[in-house]
Amino acid sequence: MNTIKFTPINDIRKETSNVEVFSTKELTINNKKYKYFSDAQLSIYVTKKCNAACHFCMNNFENRCLSSKELNDKEYYDSLDYYLDFFKNIKPWITITGGEPTISNRLIPTLKKIKDKKFKIRTFSTNGSHLLDKVDSKPLIQYMLENNVLNNINISRMVIDDDENSKIMNINIKDSNNNNLRKIATFANVNDIEIRLSCNLLKEGVNDLNTILEFKDFYNNLGIKTVMFRELIPLPYKKDSYVNINTIFKEIEDNKEFKLLKTMEGMYYTVKVYQFNDYLVKCYKEKEIVDNSIIREFVIYPDGKLDNGYDNKTLMEVK
């Protein structure tokens, strides 16, 4: 996904991946060999239910997610155990996703299983609405701390204004507001958890370099240090909201305040790294020609099936 990421130079966390270091490996699934990217991730749907209804959410258009029937609790935990045991030798990074994982009672047991089986979580995707909810007298984010969810908690936020953000994301303003984000950022900074704000570029929201910098500055002042801006996947039914990130890449390239430091070439991305004041700015551009036979993401869908995350090809199903 084409992305622009701002991170303070004096607060760069350890990167969980390096786009320039990659190789391919081989894995046998159901007696068939597959090639996979050495830095592949395993994305786990905790639930497909969500308390928001973003019109641009990929789950609205992704057939595998739409057709997935959620397993009951026993089936879910059995499926999770099965796949974590299957992947124990290659230990891919874990991504927790949904739906909205924080509204599911399966989240805490899922985090504990992942920790117990010695996997590491690279990314946790959430709209942030229930991170402060208490379970047995502890906020949910405390359980995340206890289970090593320390890197890349990506909280979705589309605009600065609470009312406008509520309308764009179709979420209750009580669930998504700047006061909650300030509290989450305070807890994260005290406990050395990396919170990242993730904003989709939208014509009705953040849509150029000026609005990007306004958004970044506001949330940096709120205590959130890393802010990312992502381009929507350009599908026809999203054209009214779609912003071409190439125009913003060009704005950055032409702006003398952005100093190009280096260009990195990965398997899937070309990354231009700039310095902007006391920030590092990474511009991730997906390559046009890639080998799609190499799996870069394994996905466990809500129905307990393992897919390759690209063309929705089922690789394995728990019987």
Q: What is the 3-state secondary structure (H, E, C) of the chain?
A: CCEEEEEEHHHCCCCCCCCCCCCEEEEEECCEEEEEEEEEEEEEECCCCCCCCCCCCHHHCCHHHHHCCCCCHHHHHHHHHHHHHHCCCCCCEEEEECCCHHHCCCHHHHHHHHHHCCCCEEEEEECCCCCCCEECCEEHHHHHHHCCCCCCEEEECCCCCHHHHHHHHCCCCCCCCHHHHHHHHHHHHHCCCCEEEEEECECCCCCCHHHHHHHHHHHHHCCCCEEEEECCCCCHHHCCCECCHHHHHHHHHHCCCEEEEEEEECCCEEEEEEEECCEEEEEEEECCCCCCCEEEEEEECCCCEEECCCCCCEEEECC
Question: Residues of the chain whose pLDDT is less than 50?
Answer: none
For residue 13, the model assigns a pLDDT of 57
> Residue 319: its pLDDT value, please?
64
The predicted-structure confidence for 18-43, as pLDDT tens digits, reads as follows 676 678 899 999 899 999 888 889 99
pLDDT of residue 238: 65
Question: What pairing do the DSSP bridges indicate for beta strands 3-8 and 226-230?
Answer: antiparallel
Any residues with CB less than 8 A from the CB of 175 and at least 6 apart, and which? 51, 52, 127, 129, 130
Determine the pLDDT at residue 151: 85
Mean pLDDT of the chain: 91
C-alpha–C-alpha distance, residues 107 and 109, integer Å: 6
Give the C-alpha distances (Å, rounded to integers) separating 164 from 176, 177, 194, 200, 203. 11, 10, 26, 14, 13
Contact 303, 71 (CB under 8 A): yes
Q: Residues 195-235: pLDDT tens digits?
A: 999 999 999 999 999 999 999 999 999 999 999 999 998 76
What's the predicted TM-score (pTM) here? 0.93
